[in-house]
Amino acid sequence: MIDLSSTPILIIILLGTVGLSIPVLDAIKKEKGKKKNKLFSGITFGTLIVAILIIIFRVIGGEPLPSMSFGPDVLVDDMFGSFFAITLLIVSIMVSASSWNYMRGIVNPASYYSLILLSTIGMVLIAYSTDFVMLFIAWELMSIPTYALAAYAKRDPISNEAAIKYFMFGALSSAILVLAIGLVYGVTGTTNIGESILILANNNLQSQSNQLIGGFIPISYLAIGLFVAGFGFKMGLVPFHMWLPDTYEGAPTTIGALLAAGTKKAGFAAAIRVVVIGMFVLSPDWSIVLAILAIITMTVGNLAALLQKSVPRIMAYSSIAQAGYILIGLAVAPYAAMGLEGSLFHILNHAVMKSVAFIAIAAFAIGIAGYSLDRYVGLGKRMPITAIAFTISLLALAGVPPLNGFWSKLVIFESAIDSGSVISWGPYLAIAGLLNSALSLGYYMWIIRKMYLDESKDTSRIKEPKIILCVLLFGMIFMVGFGIWHAPLLEFASISVPTQFDQILPTLEASLK
Amino acid sequence: MVESTGFEGLAINAWLIWILPFVGGVLIPAIAKKTNQRITNYSAVGFALVSAIFAASLLITIPSGAEIHNQVSWISALNIKAGILADPLSIIMCNIVGWISFLIIVYSVGYMHGDRDIIRYWFWMLFFIGSMQLIVLSDNLLMVFFGWEGVGLASYALIGFWYSDRKKDYVGREGHYVLGIPMWASPTHAGIKAFLMTRAGDVMMLSGMFLIFMHAGTFGFKELLEDQTWANNMMQHNLLVPAAVLLFGGAIGKSAQFPLNEWLLEAMTGPTSVSALIHAATMVKAGVFLVARIGPLFFALAVFNVEQFFEVVAWVGAITAFLLATQAIVNPEIKKVLAYSTGSQIGYMMMALGIAGISTHFVDGYTAGFFHLMSHAMFKASLFMAAGGIIHVVASRFMNDMGGLRKKMNKTFIFMTLSALSLAGAPLITSGFWSKDAIFAALLESNSSSGIALFWIAVIVAIMTAFYTFRMVGMVFFGKKSTHIQQIENEIKLPADSSGTASNDPNNEYKSSENAEKTEKSSLTKEKEHVHEVSPVMWIPFATLAVATVIIGLAGFLFEDELHNIFGNYLETYFGIGLSDTGSSVVQNPHENNANTNEEMIGGINIMAVIASVTAFGIGSGLGIIFYITRTKDPEIISRFTFTRKIWQFLYDRWYLNALIYWGFVKIPLYTYNLIWKYFETYIAQGLNPAIQFTMSYLSKLVKFTQTGVTQTYLFAFVAGILVVLLLLFL
């Protein structure tokens, strides 16, 4: 049994209690809509802050956590989980705080915040889970509330369309995941991730001599492929990305932030623990699949974003492209020490950058009641602070030094070049990434140009929502501050992942005993 | 993550020394918005003061000779650490910088009183100080480079501070052309010129830095010293000396050494307090400090024979010292005379630091160079501040618009003369004498072939220095009042741009005194109201420094000895550079050592050097007194002979250097650029751009075409994707 006082359990208890008691509170309290929104936003914000403090305290204080481990239990309290938990909680905190302004006047605030909290539990648990069943449950716990959240603007047909598409693909990917888990269980007889990887690896080693066991190998191939597709749906990899622009655009913008910055990262957490480690242990040659996907993903994402008219849609495509950059790190992970480290670093950075971008879009939407790029003209003067935050986040996404996005991209590309000493295609990933970064400036700069350089007829100041400003300010400090001094984040990322891949099997064996 | 050696608690102070001015600079606009002008001024002074106090707090480590080394990881992707290194060298330097900057900031309160852009001024001044302290205290070349660029940026902003380019802020005589290049400049032009010329040095420095980084994998001074395999490596590729010289290139740019010396003169367009800061505490001293920082490092690699580097340093210094001293003799503008003299004095420091590396006693030249840096910082800051006061009062930067000011500006006269004596090297009572004497001694004792040649150059420069110093003092304070002053006293309003055009003909520098005679008698009544002493907030700072130079001068010998000890220990402990040439690591008493090895020396004083120094002062000051103070001889005589007039013209035209630089780096490139623009850019480049744009938007449309919005398509793509992935896996 796992320790009841371990961090994942504490998070479940804390967030679950609050998340479930918000609707109860809603029934008891007889206040009006706006006040309730503020109340629940405050409660959610406070709860999430407590949750993140628990994790930070666990990481800094007490005995040091193992970097990334697999145990016999369903959950494990390790650095890898903590890293993702902190990343995801930052996103949830930013989303819930900015909803104070953005979701003012919604019909049923209680369920909105309750669903955000429940979805957060799911995301955090994905990062911590070491068992396929646990992983799947967490996956569904994360996904199902977001289907409802995406459809939150009940009378808005676009929001409904977004939710329907999202739900259909969610259901499909869940089915694929169940199939993959079933295949693994069939071959190995266990649902524990670590154990099944170990068994498959041993089978793989024996398969050269034993024809019978060798027959299992194609099934494990199939399972890996299905995992890539299932997780790839959430990560937004091409060609599993088609739902993504429609959903990110149609869902309420704060929920867009939650999806783009939050659930997507949870997908990466699952993919790193299952696919990257599993793949490598079985046969590292497969990582070329991830490399090909990475190149296609970033190219398609950037090209598609180039001519869009709607800003949330541009951001949706940009997050597809960013998934491509992150995937580079995953693909070269077995060959370069910095690969996974860079990916994790970029995941954290991207979570903040994308949240800031979406939240700034939400603030603009409050101000000008529109999402179209043409309406952004002159916003640099009309909503100056929001505009500067948006600009910084766009520049950070493009990887302009000295912002944080530059450093994480640098580490990823550097690792891709380093991997050239082992595999010939490594450096090409870096080249593709660089070319794509240049291409991406095409639309990032376009937005900035619209906001600052183009003259608008209306130059009146628009009131900027206060809470959102605080959130954006935090984001700006994060992006600029960690751009100037990125060492702590990179160090945190590097202690969260295994750096020596040839040591994985022995440590796996040791941790399961 | 944080590694620290030495005094742990003090490390925080060392960090704060350079962080505080930056914080102050950022806060000043906010303070100015909430409060009034007075409080803004006081808070700027406060930030400078607190930073200086932190610098002083580090002084307690000097007796023990300990160093404070504190690092945090910074760019961990490249394993680069940020850190501060407060060893005796940087502690003394940061005190010089801190306290002189503080005095200049105090002075600015008076000097900049009522300027409408005062907030911008405070921001950049504090930024300037912070950047300089960053250079002084950082423990690696990369952070030095950041400070280096910060200093460059601040200098650009402050030299061009009066960006509206009023005629009275120009430097140079209007209408003075050399080879078709105008020799007068507006503040904005001067700012850009300073920025670009120092940039040339910075590029060299950057390439030197990265050459070293490529081989050593680190920028840290301590790390470079610890593991010297990189030097071996570079020596095999013949890269060590080039890298060192490239690094020195940065110092050439910042310290305005030949051939990048020309920006320093135009830099006089900034407020005089800025000139004081640039010349005394921050900008030009950064170059000398860099050489002092990396000099021992390279010398410690002496097995690899880096003498050429030190030769280059010494000769660049010597050439600059001579070049600029000759020009200072003929210049009519008070600030430009001081600027020339700065370049020339920095040349002395470079000579001393350079000769250290090729002599057997490294510490002698090293101490001499640094001692001269200290004394120069003090007297030059004082001179500039005094000159600023005079310009403030007289409303002209030309010395022939001054004259006879000693009665009306008594305090300015006394203290400026004291500092000027120090610059001229008046024997025994000024710090300038002792530090110059130390340089002479170091040059004489170097036992190297170039030592004697350098020594004679130094002596000649010393004569010229004394001469132009007395010329300046004489023209400003002695003689008769100029027409300009009389006009002020008569309350005759001059046309707005008269100061620029008042003396178009370069030769009339000598004629204006005649004019003065004619109109002098007409006005003796109202003068008190117009030509007056500057306010205490202005004269107290430069008086402090002037008195300090004299105090150090009176205790000069002991002071030098102490400095010698400190640096002897410093070099011995951290670089293993012994005081004796035998290479033994035993620290010897400098007294004993000097007495034993050099017969010419009595009690640590090199007689030959003292004689040379006193003689040079005597000749130079004698000539200065004859021509400009007692005025028994008319300086006009040189215009009577064609030969001397030609020399005069040649010097006044700045050896044609400035004009040649403009031709080579401005006119010709601009012409080439026009050709490229006309034939290449308009036809070829502009044809290519739309092609890229067209291709990309076509591809984008293609991708968009797949995004139909129809769910069936999406599902199809999804399933096809799975199949492709599986196919790839099985292959």
Q: What is the mean pLDDT of chain A?
A: 88
Beta bridge partners of A69: none
Place of tokens 């004299």: B550
Question: Quick one: pLDDT at residue B218?
Answer: 86
- Per-residue pLDDT tens digits for A190-239: 888 888 888 887 776 665 555 545 567 788 888 888 999 999 999 989 88
- Within an 8 Å CB–CB cutoff, is residue B717 touching chain A? yes
- Within an 8 Å CB–CB cutoff, is residue B26 touching chain A? no
Indicate whether this model's pTM tops 0.90: no
Q: Beta strands of B112-196 (E only): which ranges?
A: 177-178, 181-182
Chain A residues whose beta carbon lies within 8 Å of the beta carbon of residue B75: 407, 486-487
Backbone angles phi, psi at B478, to 5 degrees: -105, -175
Is the Cβ pair A300, B703 closer than 8 Å?
yes
* Minimum-distance CB partner of B77 among A172, A240, A490: A490
Q: In the structure, what pLDDT confidence band is assigned to residue A361 with cuts at 50, 70 and 90?
A: very high
Q: Which residue of A has its CA nearest to B78?
A: A411
Q: Which amino acid is at B377?
A: A
Most confident range, picked from A266-270, B404-408, B622-626: A266-270
pLDDT at B519 over 70: no
- Within an 8 Å CB–CB cutoff, is residue B679 touching chain A? no
**Contact indicator for A503, A415 with CB cutoff of 8 Å:** no
Is the Cβ pair B714, A243 closer than 8 Å?
yes
Residue B75's nearest CA partner among B286, B236, B217, B257 is: B217
Q: In the structure, what pLDDT confidence band is assigned to residue B585 with cuts at 50, 70 and 90?
A: very low
Question: Quick one: pLDDT at residue A101?
Answer: 86
**Contact indicator for A200, A227 with CB cutoff of 8 Å:** no
pLDDT at B5 over 80: no
Reported residue count of chain A is: 513
> What is the spatial distance between Cα B11 and Cα B61, in angstroms, rounded to a whole number?
11
Structure tokens belonging to residue A42: 């405050």
pLDDT at A280 over 80: no
pLDDT at B518 over 50: no
Q: Which residue of A has its CA nearest to B693?
A: A442
User: For residue B259, how far is the Cα from the chain centroid?
Assistant: 15
Is the Cβ pair A233, B718 closer than 8 Å?
yes
Q: Is the peptide bond before A239 cis (omega within 30 degrees of 0)?
A: yes
Q: Which residue of B has its CA nearest to A173?
A: B718
Q: What are the distances in angstroms from CA B521 to CA B479, B486, B524?
A: 14, 9, 7
Structure tokens belonging to residue A187: 């071959």
Element housing A184 (H / E): helix A157-188
- Within an 8 Å CB–CB cutoff, is residue B73 touching chain A? yes
Is the Cβ pair B707, A289 closer than 8 Å?
no
- Within an 8 Å CB–CB cutoff, is residue B674 touching chain A? no
> What is the spatial distance between Cα B118 and Cα B37, in angstroms, rounded to a whole number?
9
Question: Quick one: pLDDT at residue B7?
Answer: 56
> What is the spatial distance between Cα B718 and Cα B728, in angstroms, rounded to a whole number?
15
Centre a 10 Å sphere on the Cβ of residue A208 and count the other Cβ atoms it contains. 9
Chain A residues whose beta carbon lies within 8 Å of the beta carbon of residue B76: 486-487, 490-491
* Minimum-distance CB partner of B729 among A225, A243, A414: A225
Q: Mind telling me how many Å the CA of A240 is from chain B's nearest CA?
A: 5
Q: Which residue of A has its CA nearest to B1?
A: A488
Q: Mind telling me how many Å the CA of A90 is from chain B's nearest CA?
A: 24
Q: What are the distances in angstroms from CA A150 to CA A116, A259, B119, B564?
A: 11, 9, 50, 75
**Contact indicator for A344, A411 with CB cutoff of 8 Å:** no
Q: How many CA atoms, within 13 angstroms, populate the side-chain half-sphere of residue A212?
A: 0
* Minimum-distance CB partner of A307 among B700, B706, B715: B700
> What is the spatial distance between Cα A325 and Cα A432, in angstroms, rounded to a whole number?
9
- Within an 8 Å CB–CB cutoff, is residue A239 touching chain B? yes
- Enumerate residues 6+ apart whose C-beta is below 8 A from A13: none
Q: Is the ipTM of this complex over 0.90?
A: no
Under DSSP, the state recorded for B255 is T
DSSP states along A365-400: HHHHS--BGGGGTTHHHHSHHHHHHHHHHHHHHHT-
Centre a 10 Å sphere on the Cβ of residue B410 and count the other Cβ atoms it contains. 13
Pairing of strands B177-178, B80-86: unpaired
Q: Which residue of B has its CA nearest to A411?
A: B77
* Minimum-distance CB partner of A307 among B82, B704, B729: B704
Residue B328's nearest CA partner among B637, B651, B643 is: B651
Q: Beta strands of B638-706 (E only): which ranges?
A: none
To 10 degrees, the CA torsion angle through B316, B321, B327, B332?
130
Q: Mind telling me how many Å the CA of B714 is from chain A's nearest CA?
A: 5
Is the Cβ pair B726, A491 closer than 8 Å?
no
Q: Mind telling me how many Å the CA of A118 is from chain B's nearest CA?
A: 28
Identify from B2, B19, B73, B76 which residue to disrupt to test chain A contact, counting A C-beta atoms within 10 A and taking the largest count. Answer: B76
Centre a 10 Å sphere on the Cβ of residue A278 and count the other Cβ atoms it contains. 22
Identify from A164, A172, A242 which residue to disrupt to test chain B contact, counting B C-beta atoms within 10 A and taking the largest count. Answer: A242
> What is the spatial distance between Cα B273 and Cα B381, in angstroms, rounded to a whole number?
9
> What is the spatial distance between Cα B20 and Cα B27, in angstroms, rounded to a whole number?
10
Better-predicted residue by pLDDT, B581 or B158: B158
- Per-residue pLDDT tens digits for B120-130: 999 999 999 99
Question: Quick one: pLDDT at residue B173?
Answer: 80
**Contact indicator for A320, A238 with CB cutoff of 8 Å:** yes
Place of tokens 């100041």: A461
Centre a 10 Å sphere on the Cβ of residue B484 and count the other Cβ atoms it contains. 24
- Within an 8 Å CB–CB cutoff, is residue A292 touching chain B? yes
Q: Given CA atoms B87, B91, B94, B96 in this order, what sign does their dihedral have?
A: negative
User: For residue A442, how far is the Cα from the chain centroid?
Assistant: 24
Q: Mind telling me how many Å the CA of B445 is from chain A's nearest CA?
A: 48
- Within an 8 Å CB–CB cutoff, is residue A325 touching chain B? no
Q: Which residue of A has its CA nearest to B726?
A: A225
pLDDT at B605 over 80: no
Place of tokens 């819930």: A96
Most confident range, picked from B298-302, B415-419, B590-594, B685-689: B415-419
Chain A residues whose beta carbon lies within 8 Å of the beta carbon of residue B692: none
Identify from B149, B695, B700, B727 which residue to disrupt to test chain A contact, counting A C-beta atoms within 10 A and taking the largest count. Answer: B700
- Within an 8 Å CB–CB cutoff, is residue A304 touching chain B? yes
DSSP states along A27-71: HH----HHHHHHHHHHHHHHHHHHHHHHHHHHHHSSSPPPSS---
pLDDT at B331 over 90: no
- Enumerate residues 6+ apart whose C-beta is below 8 A from B438: B352, B364, B367, B368, B371, B372, B560, B609
Q: Mind telling me how many Å the CA of B674 is from chain A's nearest CA?
A: 28
Q: Which residue of B has its CA nearest to A305?
A: B700
Chain A residues whose beta carbon lies within 8 Å of the beta carbon of residue B717: 239-240, 242
Place of tokens 């994360």: A142
Q: Is the peptide bond before B427 cis (omega within 30 degrees of 0)?
A: no
User: For residue A184, how far is the Cα from the chain centroid?
Assistant: 25
Domain spans in chain A, listed from the N-terminal domain onward: 7-512
Better-predicted residue by pLDDT, A330 or B64: A330
Chain B residues whose beta carbon lies within 8 Å of the beta carbon of residue A486: 75-77
A470-489 residues touching B, CB cutoff 8 A: 485-488
Better-predicted residue by pLDDT, A378 or B585: A378
Q: Given CA atoms A401, A402, A406, A411 in this order, what sign does their dihedral have?
A: positive
**Contact indicator for A43, A22 with CB cutoff of 8 Å:** yes
Q: Is residue A243 helix, strand or coil?
A: helix
- Per-residue pLDDT tens digits for A41-82: 899 999 999 999 999 988 888 777 888 888 888 888 888 999
Q: Beta strands of B183-280 (E only): which ranges?
A: none
pLDDT at A387 over 90: yes
Q: Mind telling me how many Å the CA of A18 is from chain B's nearest CA?
A: 37
Chain B residues whose beta carbon lies within 8 Å of the beta carbon of residue A218: 730
